[in-house]
Amino acid sequence: MNMTMRSDQIITDWQPHYASLFGNHALALSHSLASSPLFSDDALAALIDKTPREGYHVNYSQKTPGNPPKRREGEIKGLSGRDVLDVVRNGNIWVNLTSPAQTDPAYGKMLDGLYDEFEERVPGFKSYKRNLTILISSPNVSVKYHSDVPGQSLWQVRGTKKLYVYPNTQPFISQPALEKLILGQLRETDMPYESWYDDYAQVYTLDAGKMIHWPLNGPHRVVNEGMLNVSFTTEHWTNELRKHYAVNYANGILRSKLGMQNLSQQVTGASYLAKLGLAGLVKFTPLNPQKQKVYTVDFTVDPLAAEGVRDIEGYTFSK
């Protein structure tokens, strides 16, 4: 069947030459999921109501111009999904639903549907360990400069945000910073951001119905415009991405444990195979969650508090 004739397609403006850009270059596409009933207020409120504690994060950052300061971690207690949406609309928080596909299989079906479409269209693209995160965020919220470990896309469903995508090379991300990211040891200060980086960024205004897929580990940051934003990220792995993960993992060990420098990022040849062996020796378990992360919760979402955020005595939880 000719793809362009399909009426149920998710990506609505696909061109054959995009296959050669996919994963190699930031690619902005249009999609049909902005009108999906899965993202109506009713559906999102019901999803929040069903989400267990380990299935969400709620964050707060002080509003400052430019790159925001470190974010705080919060909790949602005694509020309905509807209440939470109202706080997001009027406050200064963002809610990440980190496993909606586990909470409601309809979201898993959507996730598989969109990857199936890319696999049909991009020869050789075979993805696994797919993950969906839904982001519901307040007007003018911004997300700090960072990189992610798996292959990554951002899909805009409601509202408008600006996305800055930077090259996945030095000085925007150093090789040691990438290794620490992969080893799960990256601290906020390991990923420095300078305002002049923006001169080298690709800047996209993401309206509802737009999505961007960018090259592996590309640093990025996000700034919402003045309205409630509903977006989601999709993450995936491929054999090719996994090779890069393995070589950077091994390089991170060689650098941190043996003080080695000038480490090649090649994913072929003898040195690559030796590194795969090394990764095995240090109990390299690719793609498995590294270790439990500990979060310190110090606010609760409160419709009556300024910005929707009420300070509470801090406590930790891990997942």
∠124-126-130 over CA atoms, to 5°?
155
Q: Which of 83, 148 has the CB closer to Fe ion?
A: 148
Minimum CB distance to Fe ion, residue 220 (Å): 6
Minimum distance from residue 149 beta carbon to Fe ion (Å): 10
Cα–Cα distance for residue pair 106/111, rounded to 1 Å: 9
Helix (H) or strand (E) holding 27: strand 27-30
H or E segment and range at residue 30: strand 27-30
**Are 230 and 135 spatial neighbours (Cβ–Cβ below 8 Å)?**
yes
Complex with Fe ion: residue 81 or 151, whichever CB lies closer: 151
Site string for Fe ion, 66-95 (x = CB under 5 A): ------------------------------
Stretch that binds Fe ion, among 109-117, 131-139, 143-151, 201-209 (CB under 5 A): 143-151
Candidates 148, 190, 198, 225; binder of Fe ion (CB under 5 A) is 148
Nearer to Fe ion, 148 or 225 (CB): 148
Cα separations (Å) of 16 from 7, 10, 13, 19? 17, 15, 10, 6
- What is the x/- site pattern for Fe ion, positions 256-295, by CB under 5 A? ----------------------------------------
- Smallest gap from residue 137 Cβ to Fe ion (A): 13
Which of 235, 298 has the CB closer to Fe ion? 235
Q: Which residue number has the CB closest to Fe ion?
A: 148
- How many residues lie near Fe ion (CB under 5 A)? 1
In the complex, least distance from residue 40 CB atom to Fe ion, rounded to whole angstroms: 25
Q: In angstroms, what is the minimal distance from the CB of 38 to Fe ion?
A: 21
* CB nearer Fe ion, residue 112 or residue 148: 148
* Cβ-based nearer residue to Fe ion, 110 or 222: 222
Q: Which residues of 3-16 are buried (b: 16+ CB within 10 A; e: fewer)?
A: eeeeeebbbeebee
**What is the edge-to-edge ordering of all strands in the sheet holding 220-224?**
142-146, 220-224, 161-165, 202-206
* 3 state SS for 249-318: HHHHHHHHHHCCCCCCCCCCHHHHHHHHHHHHHCCCCCCCCCCCCEEEEEEEECCCCHHHEEEEEEEEEE
Contacts of 163 (CB under 8 A, 6+ apart): 154, 203, 204, 206, 212, 220, 221, 222
Which of these ranges, 44-52, 74-82, 147-155, 179-187, lies near Fe ion under the rule CB under 5 A? 147-155
Q: How far is the CB of 144 from Fe ion (least distance, A)?
A: 10
Q: Please identify, using beta-carbon distances, which residue of 148 and 298 lies nearer to Fe ion.
A: 148
Residues in touch with Fe ion (CB under 5 A):
148
